Structure 1
Amino acid sequence: MTDRDEEQSAAPLRLLPWTSPEGKPCYLDTDDPQSLLSRLADDVEEAQLTSARDVLLGSEAVLADVVAGERAVRFALTRTTEPLRETLRIAHSRGDRIQS
């Protein structure tokens, strides 16, 4: 095991809440949860979770509206999939950090 391998086992890579321009996952290699990029990732995650809550409330309102048409329901469902994907990414990232 190299020094780098020992460091990685001590501080696992953090899955960041954004992807590369090619759509590939981005990871942060640091053991400092207060680093600039760690704090930025925390802020982005918080914004994504807030957006998810807002979209959920809107989707629930559409579903509660008995006269909402197919177009409104499809729009609400489409909008709901975006923050759901982000929320799952956040859960995966946080789960990886908890297990370490």
Structure 2
Amino acid sequence: MHTPTQAARLLPWESPEGKPCYVVGDGTGHVSRLADDVERVQLAMAADLMEYADDMFADRRITADQLLYVGERLAESLRVVHRIARSRGDRIPR
């Protein structure tokens, strides 16, 4: 049962229709732990992508296609990290 002390948590994935998914609980349930694991992986992937992008940008021979590719991946990563930040920020007690 939802109690006032339990906040809805924005999950790091969407429904098949592209809508946000939430879980309500105290943060210790299976879905919350799975979300924690997914966020950890997503943040690690973002860190790896930043290193990859740094290496590509350091190479002055980068092609337009390579630049477009890394730019698109960085935008995807930023959306994921922003979603995680929103989810975590929403759970900070006011």
Instruction: Show the counterpart of 1:11.
Output: 6
TM-score by length of 2: 0.93
**Which structure: larger Rg?**
1
> Percent of aligned pairs with the same residue?
44
Amino acid paired to 1:58 = Y
Any residues of structure 2 matched to 1:49-68 within 5 Å, and which?
49-68=43-62
Mind listing any 5+ residue stretches in structure 2 that lack a counterpart? none
TM-score by length of 1: 0.87
Amino acid paired to 2:46 = A
Amino acid paired to 1:15 = L
Whole-angstrom distance in 1 between the partners of 2:77 and 2:61: 25
| 1:19-49, Cα deviation, whole Å (9 max, x unpaired) | 0000000000112x22111100000000000
| 1:41-83, Cα deviation, whole Å (9 max, x unpaired) | 0000000001101111111111111111111111110111111
Any residues of structure 2 matched to 1:35-54 within 5 Å, and which?
35-54=29-48
Amino acid paired to 2:33 = R
| Runs (4+) off by over 4 Å | none
Deviation at 1:99, TM superposition (A): 3.1
Instruction: Show the counterpart of 1:82.
Output: 76
CA RMSD in angstroms, aligned pairs only: 1.4
**Which of the pair is proportionally richer in helix?**
1
